[in-house]
Structure 1
């Protein structure tokens, strides 16, 4: 899809895009994304998301490091050639592996409480959420909260939002995996089960709108287990325990992940 970028941009109707440019990766290769010159306007994400089925370009709100805002998007600190296709993976298997890898030290009894009530046992995928809100329309509303006056608008050739994480060459979760194709595979599953949509991507952060979040404690615990397997830092360096994290995501329409 990377080689599709120039053609898709050329096919976009005149006046639909603000000033911007395709960005070439630092390690070479064709540009995997287009980046606006200025911060994104409040409603620009929704306007371009609505045209995705016509343009083949999924919009992202791209933010840089607070101390080095040119990283990673302005300077092209990305590696699309290193990423595999999400098609290669099964989300349930990836999360089971992540759950095992994020477990606390067996010799630390207090740490064992972090993943209660499941302990070391992977509980499996959570059931889908329920919502009457169309996920795309709901994402349009959430995007206005992510457009903070600093994030730039990005456009990526992709059939769905999750796939942009691999095709753009994002390296944010490097301390967990160097292959964002695996990250994209899990997000695909959340798109299908919870109406999640990829809205914002930072240097090492990811923001998803969620039209069908868990609404009960039991369901939230199962979803929290998936989040722990996906991004352990949300619990280890955030809420502290799976149970506390589950309380935070009950009814939450935005999921935010960060990899230290």
Structure 2
């Protein structure tokens, strides 16, 4: 069973509570992440995120359990982002994001996944579904197999004002078909400006976004669904099954979910 089906089957989400405590010291495997780390329960993760966001001390990002945090720490420590012989800092990645031309860059990246012998097919919308697929909500705070809230969830508070810059500060992305950091930043900025999309969670291979403004028409939803498919093909190919189904879900859900192998 594919991941998206599992998420729909178990109806992942998070409930609200304002508990959460700061840990005194990071575990050794996580010590290379230089950002404040908060621990809370999975069922309290979104409420804790909301509290931290209101405090205005930075942008909180829900990471997930110990394994997810360890992956993010390894990505942060090992990513070889070098420019002119020097590691790129988050500000350099954010600056590079302004040179990413969207949506053309996403279309080119999609085409580049094919080969001359086996090119990527043009996107087909498919039929509009009778019922929109259910989006899984906040997945990073729940177990993917059981749907139960995780016993312990980590939240990092990043030193930035804009959530769309989080991939730069975590050096997240750039493996397999997952876009590079500057592409993530450019895409998330575009969707923040157009739809009020806010990045809430990042785990080892998942992004959770919450949106303030859904596309209002089928035409707008289909155009957005195409962008999202070019950005993250698996949400269709191993998820809802068609661009039209994705578009339908975008018109009814305030949560967007992306994942890369």
Question: What TM-score bracket applies, with the shorter chain setting the length?
Answer: 0.5 to 0.7
Residue ranges of structure 1 left out of the alignment (5+ in a row)? 1-15, 118-141
SS in 1 for 2:191: helix
**CA distance in 1 between partners of 2:103 and 2:167 (Å):** 17
Structure 1 length-normalised TM = 0.67
Within 2, Cα distance between the matches of 1:179 and 1:257? 15
Taking a change above 3 Å as real, the CA distance of residues 189 and 251 of structure 1, as seen in their structure-2 partners, is: same
**Is residue 205–residue 257 contact of structure 1 (8 Å, CA) maintained in 2?**
yes
Contact 1:45 1:61 in 2 (8 A): yes
2:166 alignment partner in structure 1: 164
**Pair 1:71 & 2:70 matched:** yes
| Aligned residue in 2 for 1:58 | 59
Name the count of aligned residue pairs. Answer: 211
Change in Cα spacing, 1:61 to 1:228, as seen in structure 2 (3 Å) is same
Residue 189 of structure 1: aligned partner: 190
Moved over 6 A (4+): 23-26, 104-109
Matched residues in 2 for 1:91 and 1:210: separation? 25
The answer to whether 1:97 aligns with 2:105 is yes
Report the counterpart of residue 94 of structure 2 in structure 1: 86
Q: Is the 8 A contact 1:97 1:229 kept in 2?
A: no
What pairs up with 1:140-179 in 2 under 5 angstroms?
A: 147-148=141-142, 149-150=149-150, 151-171=153-173, 174-177=175-178, 179=180
* Partner SS state of residue 172, structure 2: coil
Gaps of 5+ in 2: 1-19, 82-87, 127-136, 143-148
What does 1:97-246 correspond to in 2, within 5 Å?
A: 97-103=105-111, 112=121, 114-116=123-125, 147-148=141-142, 149-150=149-150, 151-171=153-173, 174-177=175-178, 179-246=180-247
Q: Say if 2:231 is the partner of 1:247.
A: no
RMSD, aligned α-carbons: 3.5
> Cα–Cα, structure 1 residues 177 and 251, in superposed 2: closer, same or farther, change >3 Å?
same
Q: TM-score, normalised by structure 2?
A: 0.66
Residue 44 of structure 1: aligned partner: 48
CA apart distance, 1:46 = 0.6
Measure, in 2, the Cα distance between the counterparts of 1:215 and 1:177: 28
